[in-house]
């Protein structure tokens, strides 16, 4: 029986269809909106911020010297030093997005490359790569990050690289396992019998099947990356204060959670929203890229 072709009118392929799908579906539309808003906030930060994020304002503290809760004047309240939280979050979006996208992007590419290479070729290449991955996994990630950050003088780029060096491992493991099982599938054997080049097999026939895992792990990685950056900031080897990032705002203020919960809640919400947005986008992207799921929603 031939199953009915999905009812999408344009049976076309390519980026045009994918983009249309992403905008049309509520889940991905929401994700896109959040990401675009945050991007815009990061880019246009100097013009949007109501206050100077590093200005320790006198009227930003109560008479007892406590931070102020959200009000009409300070939308998201102020922190312990009397700085406007909303302004700090907007500026923090710059750091967090750069770290989240850049560090995670490097980790994904590196992890996927190692995983595919080790999984497809196996043998001694695979052995060495995966033993190295296991070693990295067993090594305390935080310790490694601290050592690396101590060697290189902390800057945004270095922090991003350090996080990528720590985060590629899980991706490599997952992709390795999947590639191994894919490489033994019959349609890959067909390619080898046909005389296809290794490059062609990997790019055209293995990679498309890994998109699912790469997207899922990639989007999940964004939130862990942002949090790892926060941890590093907390330990003094991350983004240096007073530059705000969502992570270091949480860590600066976590001890005051009981008395000034907004200081942890809003940056936390920002991180969750960002992760959720990428997850939703990833979900829909995965579905639109899989021909078997086309039109089933």
> Taking the complex as a whole, how short is the minimal distance between the CB of residue 3 and another protein, in angstroms?
5
Which residues form the interface with another protein (CB under 8 A)?
Answer: 1-5, 11, 13, 185-187, 189-197, 200, 204-205, 208-209, 289-292, 295-296
Which lies closer to another protein via its Cβ, residue 224 or residue 286? 286
Q: How far is the CB of 119 from another protein (least distance, A)?
A: 17
Our CB check for another protein shows the closer of 23 and 194 to be 194
Cis peptide, bond prior to residue 242, ω within 30 of zero: yes
- Distance of closest approach, residue 227 Cβ to another protein, in angstroms: 33
- What dihedral angle (degrees, nearest 10) is formed by the CA atoms of 96, 102, 107, 108? 110
Considering the complex, what minimum distance in angstroms separates the CB of residue 203 from another protein?
Answer: 12
How far apart are CB 186 and another protein at their closest, in Å? 4
Nearer Cβ to another protein (123/195):
195
Q: How far is CA 165 from CA 196, 215, 232, 236, in A?
A: 33, 19, 14, 18
Tokens representing 111 are 């992890």
Give yes or no for a contact between 285 and 215, defined as CB atoms under 8 angstroms apart. Answer: yes
Q: Which is nearer to another protein, 127 or 236 (CB)?
A: 127
Task: Please state the closest distance from residue 209 (CB atom) to another protein, in A.
Answer: 6
Encode 64-92: b = buried (16+ Cβ within 10 Å), e = exposed.
Answer: eeebbeeeeebebbbbbebbbbbbbbbbb
CB distance 41 to 87 below 8 Å: no
Of 63 and 193, CB closest to another protein? 193
The secondary structure of residue 100, as a DSSP letter, is I
Closest to another protein by CB, 71 vs 181, is: 181
Alpha carbon distance 203, 81 (integer Å): 53
67 phi and psi angles, rounded to 5 deg: -65, 155
């Amino acid at each position: 029986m031939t199953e009915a072709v999905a009812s999408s009118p344009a049976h076309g392929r390519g980026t045009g269809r994918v983009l249309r799908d992403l905008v049309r579906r509520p889940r991905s539309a929401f994700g896109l909106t959040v990401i675009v808003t945050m991007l815009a906030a990061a880019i246009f930060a100097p013009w949007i911020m109501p206050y100077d994020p590093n200005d320790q304002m006198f009227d930003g503290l109560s008479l007892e010297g406590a931070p102020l809760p959200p009000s009409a004047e300070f939308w998201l309240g102020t922190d312990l030093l009397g700085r406007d939280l909303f302004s700090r979050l907007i500026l923090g979006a710059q750091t967090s997005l750069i770290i989240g996208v850049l560090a995670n992007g490097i980790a994904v590419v590196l992890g996927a490359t190692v995983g595919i290479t080790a999984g497809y070729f196996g043998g001694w290449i695979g052995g060495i790569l995966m033993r190295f991955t296991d070693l990295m996994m067993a090594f305390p990630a935080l310790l490694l990050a601290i050592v690396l950050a101590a060697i290189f003088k902390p800057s945004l780029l270095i922090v991003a690289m350090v996080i990528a060096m720590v985060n590629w491992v899980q991706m490599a493991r997952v992709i390795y396992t999947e590639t191994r099982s894919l490489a033994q599938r019959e349609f890959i054997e067909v390619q080898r019998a046909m005389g296809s080049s290794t490059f062609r097999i990997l790019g055209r026939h293995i990679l498309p099947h890994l998109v699912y895992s790469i997207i899922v792990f990639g989007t999940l990685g964004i939130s862990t990356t942002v949090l790892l950056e926060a941890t590093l900031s907390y330990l003094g080897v991350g983004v240096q204060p007073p530059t705000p990032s969502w992570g270091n705002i949480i860590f600066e203020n976590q001890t005051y959670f009981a008395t000034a919960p907004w200081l942890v809640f809003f940056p936390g919400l920002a991180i969750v929203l960002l992760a959720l947005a990428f997850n939703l986008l990833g979900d829909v992207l995965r579905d639109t890229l899989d021909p078997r799921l086309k039109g089933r929603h």
